[in-house]
Amino acid sequence: SGIDNAGFSIQEADLTELFEALDVDGTGKIHYTEWLSATVTPTLLASEKTIQQVYDFFDIEQNGVISHDELLHVLGDSNTARAVMEAADLDGSGALDKEEFTAMMQSMAQKCNPSGDEGSRSHFLLSKKLTGSIGTFFRTRSQGS
């Protein structure tokens, strides 16, 4: 295989687990946005510029808050949108303001660190879905340039 030719040794089970982690949408293929989301660094994820750009991307109505419907539109999954809202809506308003979104992004950046310590499994899966959307944001932005 290509991995063997590159001089790497990896167990089949580990390769399968890695592939499944990258294949966020479960299509059996790793799409550009999935690859991009896997390479988003914690430093980039937590930068003020990135947080503002991603916040604006999620805030479809451009009204200064991110609603459940906006999360659903961007994430494409009601369970994930609900989980994000439950985890990040600290004041219980039913929408994410900039401070709540910033806290969530910074928390994701801290928990998705290069050491591989991604925190809880549910947080990791939620982070994968969000970073997939962030990857879509960066791809859309680069195509518009």
E strands of 1-88, at which residues? 66-67
Tell me if 101 sits within 8 A of 87, measured CB to CB. no
For the chain (145 residues), the mean pLDDT of every run of 10, in chain order, is 65 75 76 62 74 90 96 84 89 96 82 49 50 55 51
What is the token pair recorded at 85? 């809202």
- What contacts 24+ positions apart, CB below 8 Å, involve 63-72? 64/97, 64/98, 65/93, 65/95, 65/96, 65/97, 66/95, 66/96, 66/101, 67/94, 67/95, 68/94, 68/95, 71/96
CA distance 130 to 106: 13
pLDDT at 31: 66
What is the token pair recorded at 131? 């970073």
pLDDT at 108: 73
SS3 130: helix
pLDDT at 26: 80
SS3 66: strand
Residue with tokens 């879509």: 136
pLDDT at 21: 72
